[in-house]
A and B are shown apart, each in its own frame.
Chain A
């Protein structure tokens, strides 16, 4: 099932490890990263988001 998150692409391109509130939407209730086919994102955006989620986890923000 595909997810619609109502976030514009311009906003997603600026995403960083500091935007924890937005990054939380790309994880499920166990804290796992949702797959690309479910999140319905392009490859560039998805790699960017996964990278920033992992950076936020390292700093224990997520």
Chain B
């Protein structure tokens, strides 16, 4: 049985281009290894955080929505937990449709 899940990650804002490419390629590789297709992707840009996380006052927000079976979110949780570029993340079951845009995309901070 497949469900729709979504993750929001806060990535370090001062990453270099090749570091960012490495992060995205490793994430996509992880999705491909588990035979999960990324349904919808969004980049919310760099935002001011309301409080500091690991001494960072800004963060780059990434959003991914995908449909997978029940065992996959735990694997993704383990993957993101040990990723040093990811400051904070959340994985939840989504009520929205797979390709629905989020309200964050057309708003300033």
Binding site for B on A (CB under 8 A): 14, 16-21, 55, 57-62
Size of B's binding interface in residues, CB under 8 A: 17
* Contact A61 to B50, CB < 8 A, known contacts A18-B103, A19-B103, A21-B107: yes
* Contact across chains for B50 and A55 when beta carbons are under 8 A apart: no
Binding site for A on B (CB under 8 A): 8, 10, 47, 49-51, 53, 59, 88, 90, 92, 95-96, 102-104, 107
Interface majority SS (helix, strand, loop, mixed), chain B: strand
* Contact across chains for B50 and A60 when beta carbons are under 8 A apart: yes
> What are the residues of chain B within 8 A of A55 when measuring CB–CB?
90, 92
Closest residue on chain A to residue B88 by CB atoms: A59
Q: Which residue from B47, B96, B107 sits with its C-beta under 8 Å from A16?
A: B96
- A55 to B103: give the CA distance in the assembly, Å: 16
> What are the residues of chain B within 8 A of A58 when measuring CB–CB?
88, 90
Closest residue on chain A to residue B96 by CB atoms: A16
Q: Which has the most chain B C-beta neighbours within 10 Å: A17, A58, A60?
A: A60
> What are the residues of chain A within 8 A of B53 when measuring CB–CB?
60
In the complex, 25 of the A-B residue pairs with CB atoms within 8 angstroms, ordered by the A residue number, are A14-B95, A16-B95, A16-B96, A17-B8, A17-B90, A17-B92, A18-B8, A18-B102, A18-B103, A18-B104, A19-B103, A21-B103, A21-B107, A55-B92, A57-B50, A58-B88, A59-B8, A59-B10, A59-B88, A59-B90, A60-B10, A60-B49, A60-B53, A60-B88, A62-B50
